[in-house]
A and B are shown apart, each in its own frame.
Chain A
Amino acid sequence: MADIGKLVRLLKELEEDLASCTRCGMCQAVCPLYGQTGRETDVARGKLVLVENLSREILDDPQAVKKRLDRCLLCGSCAAACPGGVPVLEVFLKARAVITGYLGLSPVKRAIFRGFLSNPDRLDNLLKWMGRLQGPFTRSANKILGTSCARFMSPVIGDRHFMPIAAAAWHTKASRGFSGPRQDGRIRVVFYPGCLADKILPRLADAAMEVFAFHDVDVFVADKAPCCGIPALSSGDVKTFSTLVKKNLNIWQPLDFDYLVTPCATCTSTIVKLWPAMEDYLWDKSRKTKEQVRKIAAKTMDISAFFVDILGVEALPDAGPETVTYHDPCHLKKSLGVEKQPRSLLGAAGTCRLIEMKNADQCCGMGGSFNLEHYELSEKIGAKKRDAILATGADTIATGCPACMLQITDLLSHAKSRVTVQHPIEIYARSLREKQKEKPK
């Protein structure tokens, strides 16, 4: 699409949502990026104005608008705080899709999204090789956190302290079908690890499986784990996004299950909120497909919410000697309103006392590809989170999102911290393990 008329026409479809911004500017109070830069083009109000002006042909520079639109963590803090209820994230993602459709994807993104992300097998293979080869190029950075950093100057890795890629994608070893036909009263769950748990933090997916087993949940793990599509969608590549939604639907559609559970805040909010929001951008616009997407969205749950809300796991009256602080992932609290459940799950472990950090729901600065493209800003935003975590003096920082975990790990590793980073499900799983040990056989 290189037709500016079409660009304008497609952006006009966002008119109602754009018009609902009253320019009150309250988004300035919550935007982590604006908090750093103070620039109006970094906050939702400014970005909405740019998209609107582009759609009204007052501004005719799609490239310039895209550049500013892409400087966003997609954390949704603005949407959650918007007095007028503007669906900011949806508008941004749709605008990114329309403008990217007009300008085209960058060659690098095209190669990554179309070449690998949309082909889960090929991606698994690539990562397997990277997992094997990463040794000579990296060295250990922080033993407690298990991070590595680049051994040599690397333009891609930069100064990041990262978790190494797993030797093999978790699902290739863990895939399993339901135990048999549906049994009365036994909940059937499709467990979707999400790319980060699958490929970088498999210990988290293992922990989830232990907890499912303890609570006698019948679990299905697919032998393929296509991405939920958010990296492609946030880059405006709706074609890859659509392919990935389809691949996932093809796996899940034939199954008879009650819930789709993920340990990833971003995957959960993508499936629950963005899949239905982007239904007009999918491969087929039939009512049947839309209904399938909505049904899956309605069954999808965050793992802490699943155990607390569905299985009734409750916090224990006594806490253990350890201390933990909890970071609210934006995509859990602001997108889905999930804030109590992960804390309850931590309480249910009975091994640690929760110390709330200051501004627990302030974004950690990760923002997915934002971290890749704007590492310095991401670090600055993260510095506040790091300080808030360290100020609690807690032994562990828990958070319900693998992406936040990676960012926080990087921040703490640089600070030479001894605080460990865990998912609530890991802490709960460990407590179950310890209780099993204590039980006389």
Chain B
Amino acid sequence: MMNKNLVRQFEKIAGAGNVMGEEADRHAYAYDSAVLDSVVPALVVRPDTIEQLGRIVALCNENGTPLTVRGSGTNLSGGTIPTGTDAVVVVTNGLARILEINPQDLYAVVEPGVITAQFAAAAAEQGLFYPPDPGSQAVSTLGGNVAENAGGLRGLKYGVTKDYVMGMEFFDVNGEIVKSGSRTVKCATGFNLSDLMVGSEGLLGVFARIILKLIPPPKASRAMTAVFASVEQASEAVAAIIADRIVPCTLEFLDNFTIRTVEDFRHAGLPVDAEALLLIEVDGHPAEVSEDAEKIQEICRKNGAVQVRAAKNEAEKELIWQARRDALPALARLKPTTVLEDATVPRSRIPDMVKKIKEIGRIYNLDIGTFGHAGDGNLHPTILTDRRDHKEFARVEKAIDDIFDAALAMGGTLSGEHGIGLAKRKYMEKETSKGTILYSRKLKQTFDPKNILNPGKMIGD
């Protein structure tokens, strides 16, 4: 609970109806989607306007009150869990206006609380395409996507959130507006601060408005599936597709455990004996699409695919992607707790990584389903457990340590798209260096001398 005087000041800025101080309300902002302990904040503020947002940041700084910005609270690394019980959670879903979609200049300006899928739909209505499609896109906010540098299924061909941020305005800790980037494709004005803000996990500033790049949508697409008797063959097929200079927009992988679980869930006729299933989609000009689709099917067969099928119509295509969308829900139903990781390796190391994850599952006696983005090496080993079983959960934590060690040993990275937050901060130095941590901390100290912006996350204190 926060002292009444300060609460009143927040109420003055945002209106009493937008300030939540009652215990039951604060309990509902103590968690996100990460499997971590809850921390109940001192106060929750949900501003209606960007101007209020700036004043809230300034007030926090004046009082040395820690501040965690939260969009929809779907973070998978604990980035939106308040740091301490003295913290203020600032909810941005009231700042959800799409300020401009410009079809001539192919950009949009948005407030941070706009929902990703709603934005993509609004862009599509104007005949434009916003490709980043994180798994939580139906609820995630664009501000959160930028703060975490969210990815998605289309990463291989279209890149991730950072590739679509042209510029932004953000508040520094004093509530001053900082501008970086532009509505133009080229911009060499000043430090490239907006790139620094992408993936900064709420540690360096608070987003006010974001300028996002839009592109023309592909004119055609084709989806197909390929079934393999071994992960190695599937991986070789992936490598061969890329080596043939074809970049599918989506290239997804399901391991045997995931295939069996999805089939139990949906009964769509998936090959339960297969060791690997690839779900592939190509898009672009109709002629290129049909040529690439043919080639991919041929490559898959050459690399030992037992069965290759292309969707003949929209309904069949929908069925293919339904299987991928079912992966997480189906796995999540097996056990109460689902630990979804996003360790990423160079794509050629996928077979080694899948083998390693299997081995780790065996060593610690855990159920792990692995699926993910085969095209960019971003795997989602998903550990199924019950957090209430403390003994098993201790083994889960060890398994996670081993998974990260393995990914790093293969030249990979801790996080493809979920961010570091609280969950992975202890591994940061392993991937980077002591100097990196110190340098990052100095950077934060310069921008945020009182250490109020999401303190403790990513680089520790």
A and B: interacting chains:
yes
Please provide the chain A residues from 154 to 212 with a CB less than 8 Å away from any CB of chain B in the complex: none
Complex CA–CA separation, A432 to B422 (angstroms) = 66
Residues of B within 8 A of A85 (CB): 329, 333
B228 interface contact, C-beta 8 A? no
B23 & A50 in contact (Cβ 8 Å cutoff): no
**Binary interface profile of B, 320-349, with partner A (CB < 8 Å = 1, else 0)?**
000000001100110011100000000000
Residues of B within 8 A of A28 (CB): 72, 139
Complex CA–CA separation, A429 to B25 (angstroms) = 50
Q: Contacts A41-B25, A59-B24 hold; do A23 and B33 have CB atoms under 8 A apart? A: yes
Binds B, one of A61-69, A102-110, A286-294: A61-69
A24 & B28 in contact (Cβ 8 Å cutoff): no
Please provide the chain B residues from 192 to 214 with a CB less than 8 Å away from any CB of chain A in the complex: none
Please provide the chain B residues from 1 to 60 with a CB less than 8 Å away from any CB of chain A in the complex: 20, 22-25, 27-33, 38, 46
Residues of A within 8 A of B387 (CB): 19
A26 interface contact, C-beta 8 A? yes
B94 interface contact, C-beta 8 A? yes
A25 & B332 in contact (Cβ 8 Å cutoff): no
The residue of chain A having its C-beta at the shortest distance from the C-beta of B25 within the complex is: A41
B91 & A83 in contact (Cβ 8 Å cutoff): no
Residues of B within 8 A of A53 (CB): 27
Q: Contacts A19-B386, A49-B31 hold; do A26 and B23 have CB atoms under 8 A apart? A: no
Q: Contacts A41-B28, A83-B332, A84-B329 hold; do A22 and B338 have CB atoms under 8 A apart? A: yes
The residue of chain B having its C-beta at the shortest distance from the C-beta of A85 within the complex is: B333
Q: Identify which of B28, B33, B138 contacts A22 (C-beta below 8 A).
A: B33
A23 & B32 in contact (Cβ 8 Å cutoff): yes
Residues of B within 8 A of A251 (CB): none
Q: Identify which of B31, B46, B91, B329 contacts A23 (C-beta below 8 A).
A: B31
B24 & A50 in contact (Cβ 8 Å cutoff): yes
**Binary interface profile of A, 46-58, with partner B (CB < 8 Å = 1, else 0)?**
1001100100001
Q: Contacts A22-B33, A28-B139 hold; do A49 and B28 have CB atoms under 8 A apart? A: yes
Complex CA–CA separation, A431 to B375 (angstroms) = 57
Q: Contacts A25-B136, A26-B139, A50-B24 hold; do A40 and B73 have CB atoms under 8 A apart? A: yes
A20 interface contact, C-beta 8 A? yes
A16 interface contact, C-beta 8 A? yes
B40 to chain A, nearest CB (A): 8
The residue of chain B having its C-beta at the shortest distance from the C-beta of A46 within the complex is: B28
**Binary interface profile of A, 294-315, with partner B (CB < 8 Å = 1, else 0)?**
0000000000000000000000
B261 interface contact, C-beta 8 A? no
Q: Contacts A25-B72, A26-B136 hold; do A83 and B329 have CB atoms under 8 A apart? A: yes
Complex CA–CA separation, A61 to B23 (angstroms) = 9
**Binary interface profile of A, 9-31, with partner B (CB < 8 Å = 1, else 0)?**
00000001001101111101100
A64 & B32 in contact (Cβ 8 Å cutoff): no
Main SS of the interface on chain B? Answer: loop
B356 to chain A, nearest CB (A): 25
The residue of chain B having its C-beta at the shortest distance from the C-beta of A62 within the complex is: B24
The residue of chain B having its C-beta at the shortest distance from the C-beta of A28 within the complex is: B139
Q: Contacts A29-B138, A49-B31, A50-B24 hold; do A24 and B74 have CB atoms under 8 A apart? A: yes
A87 to chain B, nearest CB (A): 12
B250 interface contact, C-beta 8 A? no
Residues of B within 8 A of A58 (CB): 27
Residues of A within 8 A of B25 (CB): 39, 41, 68
Q: Which of B117, B336, B337, B387 has the most CB of A within 10 A?
A: B336
Complex CA–CA separation, A59 to B115 (angstroms) = 31
Residues of B within 8 A of A40 (CB): 28-29, 73, 91
B93 interface contact, C-beta 8 A? yes
Complex CA–CA separation, A40 to B387 (angstroms) = 23
Complex CA–CA separation, A107 to B93 (angstroms) = 38
A61 & B29 in contact (Cβ 8 Å cutoff): no
A25 & B328 in contact (Cβ 8 Å cutoff): no
A38 interface contact, C-beta 8 A? yes
B388 interface contact, C-beta 8 A? yes
A72 to chain B, nearest CB (A): 14
B421 to chain A, nearest CB (A): 14
Please provide the chain B residues from 371 to 404 with a CB less than 8 Å away from any CB of chain A in the complex: 386-388
Complex CA–CA separation, A59 to B388 (angstroms) = 19
Residues of B within 8 A of A50 (CB): 24, 27-28
The residue of chain A having its C-beta at the shortest distance from the C-beta of B31 within the complex is: A23
B404 to chain A, nearest CB (A): 21
Residues of A within 8 A of B386 (CB): 19
B23 & A64 in contact (Cβ 8 Å cutoff): yes
Complex CA–CA separation, A288 to B338 (angstroms) = 39
Q: Which of A29, A59, A67 has the most CB of B within 10 A?
A: A29
Binding site for B on A (CB under 8 A): 16, 19-20, 22-26, 28-29, 38-41, 46, 49-50, 53, 58-59, 61, 64-65, 67-68, 83-85
18 A-B pairs, CB-CB below 8 angstroms?
A22-B33, A22-B337, A23-B32, A24-B33, A24-B74, A24-B332, A25-B139, A29-B138, A29-B139, A50-B27, A50-B28, A53-B27, A61-B23, A64-B22, A67-B24, A83-B329, A84-B333, A84-B338
